[in-house]
Structure 1
Amino acid sequence: MFTAVVIDDEPLAREELIDLLHESNQVEVVEQASNAIQGLKVIQSVKPDVVFLDIEMPQVSGIEMLAMLDPETMPKIVFVTAYDQYAIQAFEDNAFDYLLKPINPERLLKTLCKLKKHQPKPVEAIAPAQLEQIPCTGNHRIMIIATQNVECAYTGITGVLVRTADSELTTQLSLKVLEDKTPLIRCHRQYLINVKRIKEISLLENGLAEIMTQSGFTVPISRRYLRSVKEHLGII
Structure 2
Amino acid sequence: MNHKLTALVIDDEKFAREELIDLLHESDCIQVIDEANNAIDGLKKIHQLKPDVIFLDIQMPLITGIELIGMLDPDNNMPHVVFVTAYDQYAIQAFEDNAFDYLLKPIDTARLQKTLQRLKRTQQEKVSYQAISPNQLEQVPCVGHNRIMLIPTDNVEFACSEVCGVQIQTAEHKMTTQLTLKILEEKTPLLRCHRQYLVHLKAIREIKLIDNGLAEITTISGHHIPVSRRYLKDLKERLGFF
Q: CA deviation at 1:234?
A: 0.7
The residue that corresponds to 2:200 in the other structure is 194
**Number of residue pairs matched?**
136
The residue that corresponds to 1:225 in the other structure is 231
Structure 1 residues 8 and 193, CA gap change in structure 2 (3 angstroms): farther
Q: 1:1-236 to 2 correspondence within 5 Å? A: 35=63, 37-38=65-66, 49=77, 125-236=131-242
Structure 1 residues 149 and 231, CA gap change in structure 2 (3 angstroms): same
Q: Which amino acid aligns with 1:215?
A: S
TM-score, reference length from structure 1: 0.50
Q: CA deviation at 1:137?
A: 1.5
Identical aligned residues as a percent: 50
Measured in 2, the distance between the counterparts of 1:230 and 1:214 equals 18
Structure 1 residues 8 and 232, CA gap change in structure 2 (3 angstroms): farther
Any stretches of 5+ residues in structure 1 without a counterpart? Answer: 1-6, 15-32, 52-121
Deviations 1:163-203 (A, max 9, x none): 00000000000000000000001000000000011000000
Deviations 1:54-113 (A, max 9, x none): xxxxxxxxxxxxxxxxxxxxxxxxxxxxxxxxxxxxxxxxxxxxxxxxxxxxxxxxxxxx
Q: CA deviation at 1:227?
A: 0.6
Q: CA deviation at 1:125?
A: 2.9
Is this contact kept in 1: 2:78–2:163, CA < 8 A? no
TM-score, reference length from structure 2: 0.49
Structure 1 residues 197 and 124, CA gap change in structure 2 (3 angstroms): closer
Q: CA deviation at 1:8?
A: 7.6
Structure 1 residues 186 and 8, CA gap change in structure 2 (3 angstroms): farther
SS where residue 219 of structure 1 aligns? strand
Measured in 2, the distance between the counterparts of 1:42 and 1:152 equals 21
Structure 1 residues 123 and 174, CA gap change in structure 2 (3 angstroms): closer
Q: Which amino acid aligns with 2:232?
A: L
Deviation >2 Å, runs of 4+? 33-43, 48-51, 122-127, 138-141
Q: CA deviation at 1:127?
A: 2.9
SS where residue 125 of structure 1 aligns? helix
Root-mean-square deviation over aligned CA pairs: 3.5
SS where residue 173 of structure 1 aligns? coil
SS where residue 131 of structure 2 aligns? coil
Structure 1 residues 49 and 179, CA gap change in structure 2 (3 angstroms): closer
Structure 1 residues 198 and 41, CA gap change in structure 2 (3 angstroms): closer
Q: CA deviation at 1:124?
A: 8.1
Q: Which amino acid aligns with 2:65?
A: I
Q: Which amino acid aligns with 2:227?
A: I
